[in-house]
Chain A
Amino acid sequence: MNECAAQRGFLMFRDCGNPATNECATCGRPMCAEHLAASTNYTTCLDCVARRPNNELNTTNGREYAYGFRHHFYTAAAFAPIGLGLAAAADSFYDDYDVRSFDSRRKHAALADLDDEREPSFGDS
């Protein structure tokens, strides 16, 4: 099965990394259960629900709120998140969001660095 095509994060975009369990009924991308909206009975992805023109932000479901807020904020405040996701640059679904990506060689190195030297406390800078 494919990996989930959703991008996590608000300040920084990164690949979900979970195995996909279903396809979004709207965009057809492979999705894991976490990125399918409970309000659509897990048939549509959170991104597609967020992009609906009449989508209202409601905190009843935290994930749906976060993705709705993210879409609203990116389009209203023209914020471009930092792209940590390896698939973000390749996925045209997120073209509107203008992700500021690392080049792929650096991104691999940065992600490897994070795993190696994750600092327990950031310490004094």
Chain B
Amino acid sequence: MLKAWRAYKALNEEQRQIVAQKQVKLVRPIDELIALLEPIAGMDKILGSGGCATLGCTFVGGIVIAIAGNSAMLAMGLPEQVTLGWLIAFLAVFIYTLVMYLKTRNIDVSDNLRICAIPMLYVLRDDIEPRESVELVLDLRAPMAKEKLLRTEKPRERLTETFYNDPWMSAEAILIDGSRLRWSVSDVIRHRSVTKKGRSGKWKTKTKDSKKCTVDVELTVRNKSYEVQGGEAGEKKTSLSESKTMKLTSANAVDPQVVLGVITDLFRRLQPAK
């Protein structure tokens, strides 16, 4: 957690602003975009992998050590000052963990950035005209943030389904051959919560997430460069579009291969003009 906080402190003013606002529209060349967003994704990786685990370990470890230490001290009949010192040390660790948790809670950004958006930019970097600006709109709030709540349904007793709408990325770029590529990714997440009575008579709540990921892509190419199968042909340019919706069995960030797969489907319809 401390490492994540240090990574946050290492960000520049603009990057911290992105982390704070979480909804951004960036217009700049591809290399600058990557340089801007890469450290934020790096920080999120530390926070995602080590942060929560560290927090959990500190809490559980702290409680176990406090109980074990107290019992041992009572058994050994140590003076009250030693027991008090022990409790103060335990409290200090508890407060530190709590403060760090409160600090890092607000700097967490959606995993979509590091798992999908940044890898996509890496892959498309050499296809995008380096002198032209890419327009990238990102919503890095948590996919199941209350602002993204779509509706709540109760199909039957003790079953609640909550739906979230998360249109988290859209972009427009001029490619190296002069073509224009637009894409957008939007998720609809279903969070199911079922309450059941177990054999022992205890009530248990189980949750399950799934989502539908919709990828929309539009490509406009020059007629003199390509022969196009289908598409809307203009005098000089032809536009092609493709939309795909995929069902996923968890609310985890989508693999970049899914989005790039839809983009390449459009490129399969192009043939270099002879």
Q: Restricting to A104-125, which residues have a CB under 8 Å from any CB of B?
A: 106, 110, 113-114, 118-120, 122, 125
Interface of A is mostly: mixed
Is A14 in contact with B176, judged by CB distance below 8 angstroms?
yes
Given contacts A59-B118, A65-B119, A125-B239, contact A10 B268 (CB under 8 A): no
For B175, the chain A residues whose CB sits under 8 A away are: 11-12
For A102, the chain B residues whose CB sits under 8 A away are: 272-274
Is A103 in contact with B261, judged by CB distance below 8 angstroms?
no
Is B264 in contact with A82, judged by CB distance below 8 angstroms?
no
B212 interface hit (Cβ, 8 Å): no
Is A62 in contact with B127, judged by CB distance below 8 angstroms?
no
Interface size on A, residues (CB 8 A): 34
Is A66 in contact with B257, judged by CB distance below 8 angstroms?
no
A51 to chain B, nearest CB (A): 17
Is A9 in contact with B237, judged by CB distance below 8 angstroms?
no
Contact of B272 among A69, A73, A106 (CB under 8 A): A106
For A119, the chain B residues whose CB sits under 8 A away are: 174, 178
- Residues in B lying within 8 Å of A, measured CB to CB: 34, 38, 41, 114, 118-119, 122-127, 129, 131-132, 174-178, 180, 220, 224-225, 234, 236-239, 256-257, 260-261, 263-264, 267-268, 270-274
Which A-B residue pairs are the 4 nearest by beta carbons? Answer: A8-B126, A125-B237, A102-B272, A62-B122
- Residues in A lying within 8 Å of B, measured CB to CB: 8-12, 14, 59, 62-63, 65-66, 69-70, 73, 77, 79-84, 100-103, 106, 110, 113-114, 118-120, 122, 125
Supplied contacts A10-B123, A102-B272, A114-B177, 10 more A-B pairs, CB within 8 Å: A11-B124, A11-B175, A59-B114, A62-B118, A81-B267, A106-B273, A106-B274, A114-B178, A122-B220, A125-B237
